[in-house]
Structure 1
């Protein structure tokens, strides 16, 4: 079965790397529309999440339009990823525009390493690659995909473009070691985090269990935290950094972690609001 999966993956990659880019992206858009109108897998979840986030701000028609555009985004994203192995550095630099990395550079001058937080918006694979192109020594905390064959290909495609990974499990000591070397750790900050790994803070005015590790590490080490954002616009992928997010001090360490995690969430939410169609509404963020 694994052998068949590998053959299918290679066949799909081969096809999409050889058809014209405009044709491929047009197919991605149509695939997203087909998914939204016909397949409908997780469509109700996306619409429900959008209602939770925007019911007080947008009409039902606007929410449905956002949901449709979100599925179009997924379709285009899939095609972009399938074409990624065939792109060299020159190709990538034509498609990626790095707007502002000054906040990253400034934070690194402190010599305590850097945690960059980001979300699943835009093409988040290209966001990691863009940081490599910009010359930043960044390690991304990643969770394995359950399907081993797909995970191996997904990992290899990104590693071939200069992305470095740390496994999510048992990564704390590696993170602390790299921060001491003034390296950058990239952490996806917008997913549900259950059990004692998360704290309940607001996300779009609703309680959402959110990763507390970023705040805990920042409190322990004094490592600065900087957000990075990316989005797709007219076929170009833009990357920018935001100002360092200072810790919000509470009367106890737990309060500092809680208040700071809320602040990090606020920054992520504010950016999602700028390009809501490009976030991962298919994720069960509120549980």
Structure 2
């Protein structure tokens, strides 16, 4: 499978997008991938939309999803010039300023746009990036994904369970610590709960704890698909120092509100096939900040 992906990546993008179009047709009309999960997520997130509107979002999502996979494959053979021409960074001047002043920062995003190409694009900034990731169960595919994400210098992949120890060694290194923070937590009773996309939603507290423990400002990245094969990474300050002036949970709340705004604006570009709302809010929560 991995050798096939490597071979496939050598094809030009216009050919790969033709394959994506075919896969999109299959998903829409023959073998609809996770249709029940997607439909339920969309129905709960957009109660004001008609069934026809929701179906259109689902079908556009399928094309986004097949393009995302094709672009992941293409990433294996892409050059620096190709990455720079296809992923544009907007508004990271404040990030550059902080890091040039020896201040590490946190970059947080959701599963939208193309986060794989975003990692490649971060390799060509004037700062290094530590990417915290969840290890995949399939070792061969996990190793391949790590190889792909670190193909350019300037990217350090940090497995989630090891990131605390690694960060202690690098806590004063001026860099960007990057997280995707919209996954469903494994322990909902210890999560931060808020309304997100019209539903009670659990969020990991790790991003905010990380920021507070190391006194790092937090920036949000909106990952947006402008057109096929063209993306923007839009940076904005989410929480500035001193974080002691911000109440516990407020950083996560700001992230949830900002991501929600983006999902509403670009609904087909969110990962609706993920079982984001598999947990129900427990009657008794065990969240403690100290």
TM-score, L = length of structure 1: 0.88
* Aligned match of 1:126: 117
Contact 1:130 1:239 survives alignment (8 Å): no
- Matched residues in 2 for 1:282 and 1:144: separation? 19
* Aligned match of 1:203: 196
* Aligned match of 1:264: 255
* Aligned match of 2:158: 166
Matched, 1:115 2:106: yes
Q: How big is the alpha-carbon RMSD for the aligned residues of Structure 1 and Structure 2?
A: 2.3
- Matched residues in 2 for 1:249 and 1:179: separation? 17
Q: Secondary structure at the match of 2:233?
A: strand
Contact 1:219 1:257 survives alignment (8 Å): no
* Aligned match of 2:133: 142
- Matching residue within 20, 31, 38 for 1:28: 20
* Aligned match of 1:179: 171
- Matching residue within 178, 185, 193 for 1:193: 185
Decide whether aligned partners of structure 1 residues 220 and 110 sit closer, same or farther in structure 2, where only a CA change above 3 A counts: farther
* Aligned match of 1:11: 4
Higher helix residue share: 1
State the Cα distance separating 1:249 from its structure 2 match: 8.0
Cα displacement string for residues 9-62 of structure 1 (whole angstroms, at most 9, x for unaligned residues): 212321x23333212112113212312321123111111111111112x22211
Length, aligned pairs only: 275
- Matching residue within 208, 214, 218 for 1:221: 214
Contact 1:112 1:221 survives alignment (8 Å): no
- Matched residues in 2 for 1:153 and 1:53: separation? 34
* Aligned match of 1:60: 51
Q: Secondary structure at the match of 1:171?
A: helix
Contact 1:117 1:227 survives alignment (8 Å): yes
State the Cα distance separating 1:136 from its structure 2 match: 2.3
Q: Which runs of 5+ in 2 are unaligned?
A: 280-290
TM-score, L = length of structure 2: 0.87
Contact 2:104 2:175 survives alignment (8 Å): yes
